[in-house]
Amino acid sequence: MTQRLVGDAVFTVDADDRVLAPGAVEITDGLISWVGHPTDVAPAAGTEVRELGGVLMPGLVNCHAHSPMTLLRSAGDGLPLDRWLSESVWPREARLVDEDVFWGMTLGAAELLTNGITTTCEQYRHPAPVIDALLAAGIRGVFTPGIFEVPGTPDAPGQHWGDLLAEASQLFDAMDGREGRLHLGFGPHAAYTVPPEGLREIAAEAKRRDALLQIHVSETAAECAVVLERYGMSAPALLADVGALDGRVVAAHAVWLDDDDLALLAAHEVGVAHCPGSNGKLGAGVAPLQALLERGVRVGLGTDGPASNDDLHLWDEMRLAALFARAEAGDPGAVTTAMALRLATRGGGEALGLPVGALEPGRPADVIRLRTDDPRFTPSVSDAELLGHLVWAGAGYLVTDVWVGGSCVLEAGRCTHIDEDRARAEVAQRARRLLAS
């Protein structure tokens, strides 16, 4: 059956950034079948018409997240990245069991959906519970299992990148494309945690399957110094040297880049997940967003994990990305309001290589509705002002309904597939155990 959603305004984020006021979106078999003014084309017989009002727009796309880290929210506040990981995060993560990760991802999925995020690109260990939670939640998920070289200790055995690569390859072959919403890839952590031979082999397996490779790149100055000392080159140069930029790649963070690094990312058509909130909280720096865009690099936005952000709200990232770019350039036109919205939607889809983030016929019907009966949307006397309200004042609490592949996964502000009360209780209990152990 076809359903027609009618709103006071529809932000298409199509090639022309059309705004239709009023507007309508038709969904057939999980795909967008028509977008236009409600009076332009009469609905076909049998079409369910829903007069929703408010704003309809593409679902937001989170290009880089570690959502099971809801279990570690606010851990290690005030520490730089290396100490934050070694002193606060990794010791607790070493005590995780699969059930912990399932509930952490479930609560993360609820937070993502209630904030209008319909696609999330996740990197984490414990693949089975992450996948189970993503599928159960109804969200569109890109999952790249984390691959590290972890030395052993007297209390715990180490992990070799080769074993984790074999596991990730088997997982891709068995699960990629499940329910039309699950996309599997490969997640080598970074150039300083996986040796060059590991990066080469991981990239080869990903390219063989046309799978996404997601990796942290040049996140901090300290990380860059380590890579330079070990290998005599920057992380992007090392990745290019071992062939790790030759396939579908998303570089998370990409903060400390020189002109040569920028040229490499552009030449290899690497996508970038820009994470201004996490980068700011950890004192990592500000990624050169304007320079990336000027070179034609595909850029989307990421929240990173809720332990370093501390939320999964892409509305914040949209604003921070534009604010930081304008402040650094001293130019209020450096990243336009329309471009900020595009980064959070269509840009994210392009960075991941998925046809999401825009309301156009043939694309997956990932749609969100925001109510506008709120001071944040008052007054609104033009399309430009409505766009401004959406980008500069939009917030997750205004999201009322969410569809992923045409299926309603959030209705009147409540998840239809997730018991949010239980998820909160489970995470709260398990987080106390992880901290006390």
pLDDT tens digits for range 248-295: 999 999 999 999 999 999 999 999 999 999 999 999 999 999 999 999
Coil vs helix vs strand at 337: helix
Q: What is the pTM of this model?
A: 0.96
- Does residue 81 sit within a domain? yes
Categorize the per-residue pLDDT at 82 as very low, low, confident or very high, splitting at 50, 70 and 90: confident
Distinct helix (H) and strand (E) counts, the chain: 16, 20
Q: Do 214 and 256 have their domain in common?
A: yes
Q: Do 53 and 64 have their domain in common?
A: no
Asked if pLDDT for residue 186 goes beyond 80, the answer is yes
Mean pLDDT of 64-72: 96
Asked if pLDDT for residue 106 goes beyond 90, the answer is yes
The pLDDT of residue 254: 98
> What is the Cα–Cα distance from 349 to 142, expressed in whole angstroms?
11
Q: Do 82 and 114 have their domain in common?
A: yes
Pairing status of strand 271-274 against strand 248-253 = parallel
User: What total of structural domains would you count in the chain?
Assistant: 2
The pLDDT of residue 437: 61
Q: Do 23 and 90 have their domain in common?
A: no
Q: What's the CATH number where 393 sits?
A: 2.30.40.10
Asked if pLDDT for residue 155 goes beyond 70, the answer is no
> What is the Cα–Cα distance from 248 to 250, expressed in whole angstroms?
7
| Structural domain span for residue 260 | 60-352
Coil vs helix vs strand at 2: strand
Asked if pLDDT for residue 436 goes beyond 80, the answer is no
Write the CA distances from 99 to 171, 341, 430, integer angstroms.
19, 36, 9
- Does residue 437 sit within a domain? no
Q: What's the CATH number where 90 sits?
A: 3.20.20.140
Q: Do 403 and 338 have their domain in common?
A: no
